[in-house]
Amino acid sequence: MKAVVRQGLIAPGIIVVIAAIAWAVAGSTAALFVVTIGAAAIVAFHLVHLQKISDWANGPLDADVPEGRGEWSQLFAAIYRRTRVRSAYERDLRHVIERFQQAASAIPDGIVVLDAANRIDWANPRALAQLALDLRQDRGQPIVNLVRQPEFLRYVDAGDYAASIVVPSGADPRRRLALHLVPFGADQKLLMARDVTELEAVARMRRDFIANVSHELKTPLTVISGFVETLRDLDVDERQRRRFLQMMDEQAKNMQRLVADLLTLSALESDQNPVHEERFAVEPMLRALLVDARALSKGQHEIALDVGDAATLHGSRDELASAFGNLVSNAVRYTSAGGAITVRWRIDPDGSGVFSVTDTGIGVAAEYLPRLTERFYRIDRSRSRATGGTGLGLAIVKHVLLRHQAELEIESERGKGSTFAVRLPARRVERDTAARAMAQA
């Protein structure tokens, strides 16, 4: 600043010197003329620079700082340096904001930045999709005007953001979102949105599973407990005692089957239990299933086996035999006496192997088909228990097929019968042409 003052005094000093010389040479009138002209020049010089700085200050924010002369050059240079520093800060800030937005956009959860009045300032793409927002229209709008859930409005008004709340998604009411407000900065908030539909579904399945297991065990335990009390408290004849013991034995076996199926299902779902890969011929396995099916049927059904193509399979023989056996036993259980059951095996032109079981049983209505592989799902609970099923057979089938990259295809019509088909991928099926040629010879 001292340098600017010194430089600013140079011009007035020169005018004073010239005026003094003019006084000495031509008198006071000449000196006054010199002072007037000099003062006017100095004022004009400063007015020009003031106009420059005024135009710059009122112009675009990115306008260049004007150039100055004399003492104004130092002032403009100082302004230029400050402008460069401010531009650098703004550039760094924009870079930080861009990095934040890029990082927030990559986060799988929804993020909405709110101002002090809970108005939308920014949102990542995930939040736009979850909450059905459009930044072009909704920026600056109060979040409670767009997330129209009474629970969320009460949550925002309460000001207690220690926990989250769960509300339906604005884009899809079937989805469930956990919303959590997190204050940050001086007066801003982050609204975090996480899709918890699958988590809630898993929790519901866990609750249903526990309830179903308890229900399935309750009936046989009640029967056994009742007969134990009867045998303990009453004097029954030998015929009744044998009958009671037989019924207790049946209920105990039902529980054993249930526990065995639960253990099988648990093993199939375990990541620590990889598929035991082996090569085995499909036809001997199918013939063993046929023997078991006829034993279960006790001669009440016509059961046929049609092996269209001899093949060697790659996978777990025990698991596939269990899955195929469940389908065959279900056909026997749900087909009335005198009905027909056909077990088939073929290789399709694309190389995939197809195992199918067709029956003339009671059939399944179309609305029930999507849920057949759920654990303990039964269309008719009383009939299912009467047939001796645990309600886990098709769930076991589903998990065995998942482990073998196979698919279950179901065709059924109420009252006319069903076809359950397993399609194994071509890489697990090896056509045995030599064996088929020998069989045909």
Note the residue count of the chain.
Answer: 441
CA distance 433 to 153: 70
The model's pTM: 0.56
Measured CA to CA in angstroms, residue 288 lies from 283, 305, 343 at distances of 9, 11, 12
CA distance 77 to 52: 14
Q: Is the distance from CB of 391 to CB of 380 less than 8 angstroms?
A: no
How would residue 1 be classed by pLDDT, with cut points 50, 70 and 90? low
User: Tokens for 436?
Assistant: 């088929």
| DSSP, residue by residue, 109-158 | SEEEEE-TTSBEEEE-HHHHHHHT--HHHHTTSBHHHHS--HHHHHHHHH
Q: What is the mean pLDDT of residues 301-323?
A: 92
Pairing of strands 417-424, 353-359: antiparallel
> Which structural domains are found in the chain, ordered by start?
2-95 (no CATH), 107-195 (3.30.450.20), 201-269 (1.10.287.130), 278-440 (3.30.565.10)
Higher pLDDT, 61 or 381: 61
Q: What is the mean pLDDT of residues 382-409?
A: 77
User: Tens digit of pLDDT for each residue in 416-437?
Assistant: 899 999 999 999 999 876 545 4
Higher pLDDT, 380 or 295: 295
Q: What average pLDDT does the chain have?
A: 83
Higher pLDDT, 393 or 144: 144
Exposed, middle or buried by CB within 10 Å (0-12, 13-18, 19+), for 392? buried
Q: Measure CA of the first residue to CA of the last residue in the chain; give whole Å.
A: 114
Q: Is the distance from CB of 319 to CB of 389 less than 8 angstroms?
A: no
How would residue 413 be classed by pLDDT, with cut points 50, 70 and 90? confident
What confidence score (pLDDT) does residue 429 get? 93
Q: Is the distance from CB of 376 to CB of 212 less than 8 angstroms?
A: yes
User: Tens digit of pLDDT for each residue in 161-202?
Assistant: 888 889 888 778 888 899 999 888 778 888 989 888 888 877
